[in-house]
Amino acid sequence: MFEGLAEKLQETFKKLRGKGKLTEKDLNSALREVRLALLEADVSLPVVKEFIQRIRERSLGADVLDSFTPAQQVIKIVNEELTAVMGDTKSSVEFNSSGATVFLLVGLQGGGKTTTAGKLALHYKKQGKQPLLVAADVYRPAAIKQLEVLAKQIDVPFFALEEGNSPVTIARQAVEHSRSHGYDLVIIDTAGRLHIDEKLMEELQQMKDAVTPQEVFLIVDAMIGQDAVNIAKSFHEELGLTGVILTKLDGDTRGGAALSVRKVTGCPIKFIGTGEKLDALDPFYPDRLAARILGMGDVLSLIEKAQATIDEEKARELEKKLRKQEFTLDDFLEQIKQVQSMGPLEQVLGMIPGLGGAKQLRQIQEGIDEKEFTYLEAMINSMTPEERRNPAIIKGSRRKRIARGSGRRVQDVNRLLKHFDQSCKLFKQLSELGAGKSARKLKS
């Protein structure tokens, strides 16, 4: 998602950075490009207008253009404003302090309500909650079955009533059921319509009155662009939403809805759906997304991901080694093992600034392919301790010996050493970023 927009904005700012001094004319032509890129990504026009105006005002004010690093200052302003458009910080989800928390999921047909119900249940189950999935889409028997299947898949209890019961009755009884069974999160999947109509809104309002949910989530398909924003606006006016969940932000969705919903409706995006699988749900972080669009890399997500798998002690040790340039092939091996346990490598590397480029990504990935890992280990094991500490000494004859010793070809050894070199640079970049972030965290 956002590839097109990200590419265009990054190109614009690259040009800007290439200039030492910035004139007002430079700024204006850059802003014209930004404006176009946003409109092409299907961001609402009023949002674009206000956004450009704020950036122009701020960039022309307070010594920005006369500073030593005008382009950087402008990009910083763009980053801040982009974040602000989407809601500044991650919006928290409300939980009932006593008794069960209720989420009511609303939206049009096909938006992804039922799927998202399953995703939310899984998300909070992982966090130690005990969710109950409730089927209140009484108009389509298949919808009830669909939710039941999802509930089984993730091993979460499921609640439905026999035919003839109204959605309001189902919702009410589900909450009672959760009380008597000790479930602390009730997720209610409702019926959609093809279009917004009075009857749908009335019924949802009745459900809302009956169970006073902590969260009323609108589930809406981001692929429909501006329509998603308009739908969100109507639902919010009629029903009073607490959050929007944008689905189908995977694939080639242009993403304009993600940038417009907050400004147009006043309602925050709380999650985004990025795939059909049940774990494809992410909390929405405006700052991270802005940084990502601007090519600053989703450092925070990356660090978080790394922290979940990499031993902190080891990471610190590694950082020290990198600073002192004592990173060895043994460390390299260890590091690959850790990176491998971090999940899809592409996903991880894609978050690193400057590494979005597919070519670079592929090169590095090649060297640490699952299958090749054993070969890699064998080659490193065939090296002397001295060679592992100081790979620079591994020249022709040593390469031949290592290849023979590990049953590989000399080209393989060459490639390994090249990847080692690349990875040194990569890990160094990573650890510097990590250090910068944690220093900032300490200050705030």
> Which of the choices ligand GDP, Mg ion, none does residue 110 contact, using the CB cut-off of 5 to 8 A by kind?
ligand GDP
C-alpha distance from residue 31 to each of 90, 286, 360, 398 (Å): 27, 21, 30, 56
Least gap, CB of 215 to ligand GDP (angstroms): 17
Cβ count within 10 A of residue 236: 19
Residues 80-119, mask of contacts with ligand GDP (x by CB under 6 A) = ---------------------------x-xxxxxxx----
Residue 286 CB contacts under 8 Å (≥ 6 apart), including other chains: 82, 83, 84, 85, 86, 87, 88, 89, 90, 262
CA–CA separation, 286 vs 50, rounded Å? 18
- Starting at the edge strand that comes first in sequence, how are the strands of the sheet with 158-159 ordered? 158-159, 131-136, 185-190, 101-106, 215-221, 243-247, 269-273, 281-283
Map the footprint of ligand GDP across residues 133-152, applying CB under 6 A. Answer: none
Least gap, CB of 125 to ligand GDP (angstroms): 18
Q: Where are the alpha helices (DSSP H) in 276-311?
A: 286-293, 299-309
Q: Does 114 bind Mg ion (CB under 5 A)?
A: yes
Q: Which is nearer to ligand GDP, 272 or 364 (CB)?
A: 272
Map the footprint of ligand GDP across residues 305-364, applying CB under 6 A. Answer: none
Instruction: Answer yes or no: is 192 a known binding residue.
Output: yes
Least gap, CB of 203 to ligand GDP (angstroms): 15
Interacting residue with ligand GDP among 11, 40, 252, 276 (CB under 6 A)? 276
Q: Where are the alpha helices (DSSP H) in 222-293?
A: 226-239, 256-265, 286-293
Q: Which stretch binds Mg ion (CB under 5 A): 135-143, 274-282, 378-386, 419-427?
A: 135-143
Q: Which is nearer to ligand GDP, 174 or 223 (CB)?
A: 223
Helix (H, G, I), strand (E, B) or coil at 68: coil
Q: Which residues bind Mg ion (CB under 5 A)?
A: 113-114, 143
Binding site for GTP, by residue number, is 107-114, 189-193, 247-250
Q: Which residues bind ligand GDP (CB under 6 A)?
A: 107, 109-115, 192, 219, 247-248, 250, 273-276, 280
